[in-house]
């Protein structure tokens, strides 16, 4: 099927220019879509699995205040939250206790890790204390 564009009122050279602009716009949109798929959160240069976790968390919490601490769950039953510069995961360990990891949004590196909390709630509080105040988890009762 051939698309017959009839631009009789434009000179021939303008018709060619319009078609060229249409192709440029089309390919630019494809590039923009591809980069959005590769990095769904603009500005963060962290590993894809971290971008995916944060994006899922944001989708689940989208109807809440962004300044409020809200924990969401992944399909693996891991609790996830984020603050301005960090994000955290709390998961059950093999011994029935709970561990947390806090990751930097700037680098993707682990900013803090602590394990062996008796309850998930204690691990969550310790992770948030670290993200908010830089509080050493070793000083937090477990």
Q: Token pair of 118, please?
A: 């008796």
Residues 44-58: tens digit of each pLDDT: 778 888 888 888 898
Mean pLDDT of 35-45: 58
Mean pLDDT of 116-128: 93
15 pLDDT above the threshold of 50 = yes
Q: Token pair of 77, please?
A: 């039953």
pLDDT score for 102: 95
Read out DSSP for 87-122?
A: EEEEEE-TTS-EEEEEEETTT--EEEEEEEESSHHH
């Amino acid at each position: 099927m051939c698309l017959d564009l009839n631009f009789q009122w434009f000179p021939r050279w303008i018709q060619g220019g319009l078609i060229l602009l249409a192709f440029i716009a089309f390919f630019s949109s494809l590039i923009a879509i591809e980069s959005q798929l590769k990095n769904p959160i603009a500005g963060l240069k962290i590993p894809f699995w971290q971008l995916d976790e944060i994006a899922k968390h944001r989708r689940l919490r989208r109807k809440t205040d962004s300044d409020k601490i809200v924990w969401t769950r992944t399909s693996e039953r891991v609790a996830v939250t984020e603050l301005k510069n960090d994000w955290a995961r709390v998961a059950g360990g093999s011994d029935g206790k709970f561990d947390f990891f806090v990751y930097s949004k700037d680098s993707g590196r682990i900013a803090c890790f602590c394990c062996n909390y008796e309850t998930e709630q204690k691990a969550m509080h310790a992770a948030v204390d670290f993200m908010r105040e830089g509080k050493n988890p070793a000083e937090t009762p477990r």
